[in-house]
Amino acid sequence: RDFMCPIFVFSCLFRLFRRCILFRLSALTDKTADKTLETVKYSKMEDTQTIAKKRKLDDEATDGSIPGVQTGLLQEFAQILPDATTSLSHLARVETARKKKVALFVSYIGRGYNGMQRNPGVNSIEEDLIVALWKTGAITEECRDKMDKMHFQRCARTDKGVSAAVNVVSLKMLLRENIIEDINSHLLPQIRAVGLVRTTKKFDCKLACSARSYEYLSPTFAFAPCFEKTRRDFRINDEILARVQTLFNKYKGTHRFHNFTSRIRPSDPSAQRYIMDFNCGQPFERQGMEFVVLRVKGQSFMLHQIRKMVGLVMVVAQGHANEDIIHRAWGGDKVDVPKAPALGLLLDRPFFDAYNKKFGTDGSHDCVDVSAFEDDVEKFKQKIYDTIIETEVKENSMMHWLGTLVQHDFVGNRTDVSVANRQETLRDVEATGDSNVEEQLDCKQSVVNPVFTQDTDACTASAGDEKLSTFPSRQ
């Protein structure tokens, strides 16, 4: 009995303590449930008030007012500045509207610009284009200052003075009716937005581009052999034209073009480039001169690559070097490759064959193809041609460039006499006017470089002779 009494008392105290704990927990649970119900109640009330407030703001917006601005203050402000309400409402729509990823087709004349890419303190095509997009309201001020905010990318980065019949940029922008006309209203006449198409969200015009084609408009006297006078009235014949086409055909395929650009080593993988086609068109006359259009298509091109490819063919066609210099330029040795003037070069168009095959036929996206704007592109290309021809006739850029070929060493074995003749001819070309440049470039430019000394039918006339005793080989 004495032993059981403490156990009984402990059991009673334990049961009492247990009931107190359960009662306390029950009270806390009830309070939590009440607070939850009260929170839900207030939340529903706030939602109702928010909906009512939103409907009120929408009703005000339909009357031309701006959400979040008191009507009386807005009316007073509108009396001072009548266009203020429109401008503020436009900015509000730009900030809140959902932007779409597009491919924007742009045509431009590169004369007077330092290339396509935007650089601080430099006059570029992208700078004018982005400012026009911002003034139109297609992009925000933040996107104007930070291009990565709108995922901006250009398909081809043209060099200084190079034009484009059509180039493509991809970006996120606000779409609305007549957006192309509004963009062009803020651009100079030499830059035109041709059109745009909606693309996928991850579309990148530089990565999605499968090929690019360029054109080079050149006077035909640039291909005149050494026994022909280099002058404006030169007219190319079928034999010379066929030989020029044969020289351009050598570029087709995959080769190492490290000698056709700068700061690229022969072992660098980026030196490998694939040329799909290189054609020489039929000659045509304009303003008393004969011109020809060269068209090249490849996967991608390096800095100055096309201009050096054209320049090297002109060197061979004129007789300054043998044809094997083209193959030597793909080897490991350093080869002096002259760079043709930038005036005649223009980007014809980019191609997106892989992207169009994958997404253009799915029924949800459009093909990124310039064919829909072909008429506008061809009209603008004619303006580029007219600008190039007019500038060439006025400035003689190709004629002066041909005079600088005497500075180059295409064989690596110049003598003291040849160096002196090169310097003398160059000084004469720089000192004389346009009327005497043709005479200075007659036989001297072919004689000063002893390229054909290994052949039996080499050019053997001296720098002072007016005629050549023998003609160079055409093989």
DSSP string, 13-32: HHHHHHHHHHHHHHHHHHHH
Tell me whether strands 163-173 and 153-154 are parallel, antiparallel or unpaired. Answer: antiparallel
Q: At what angle do helices 71-80 and 84-96 cross, to 10 degrees?
A: 120
Among 218, 252, 256, CA closest to 236: 218
Give the DSSP letter of residue 368.
-
Alpha carbon distances (Å) from 381 to 105, 145, 310, 376: 14, 31, 20, 9
Position 414 scores a pLDDT of: 39
Position 140 scores a pLDDT of: 95
Higher pLDDT, residue 126 or 467: 126
Long-range contacts of 467-471 (CB under 8 A, 24+ apart): 467/443, 468/226, 468/227, 468/443, 471/225, 471/226, 471/227
Which token pair is 118?
């935007």
Position 409 scores a pLDDT of: 86
Share of the chain above pLDDT 90, in %: 58
The catalytically annotated residue of 34, 145, 159, 376 is: 159
Coil/strand/helix, residue 361: coil
Q: How many beta carbons lie within 10 A of that of residue 122, not counting itself? A: 13
Position 430 scores a pLDDT of: 54
Its pTM stands at: 0.70
Residues pairing with 173 in the sheet: 100
pLDDT in tens, 77-98: 445 444 444 444 444 444 446 8
Q: What residue type is assigned to position 219 of the chain? A: P
Higher pLDDT, residue 135 or 406: 135
**Mean pLDDT across the chain:** 79
Lowest mean pLDDT of 62-76, 136-150, 167-181, name the range. 62-76
Position 436 scores a pLDDT of: 43
Exposure of 110 by Cβ count < 10 A (0-12 exposed, 13-18 middle, 19+ buried)?
buried
Share of the chain above pLDDT 70, in %: 69
8 Å CB contact between 293 and 217:
yes
Q: Is 159 a catalytic residue?
A: yes
Among 108, 107, 114, 118, CA closest to 342: 114
pLDDT in tens, 419-468: 444 445 445 545 554 444 444 444 444 433 333 333 323 333 333 333 33
Return the half-sphere exposure (C-beta side, CA atoms, 13 A cut-off) of residue 424.
Answer: 12
Q: Using 50, 70 and 90 to split pLDDT, how confident is the model at 43?
A: low
Q: Using 50, 70 and 90 to split pLDDT, how confident is the model at 31?
A: low
pLDDT in tens, 57-79: 444 443 444 344 444 444 444 45
Position 427 scores a pLDDT of: 54
How would DSSP label each residue in 257-285?
-GGGSSS--TT-GGGEEEEEEEEE---EE
Higher pLDDT, residue 41 or 186: 186
Position 123 scores a pLDDT of: 94
Position 15 scores a pLDDT of: 79
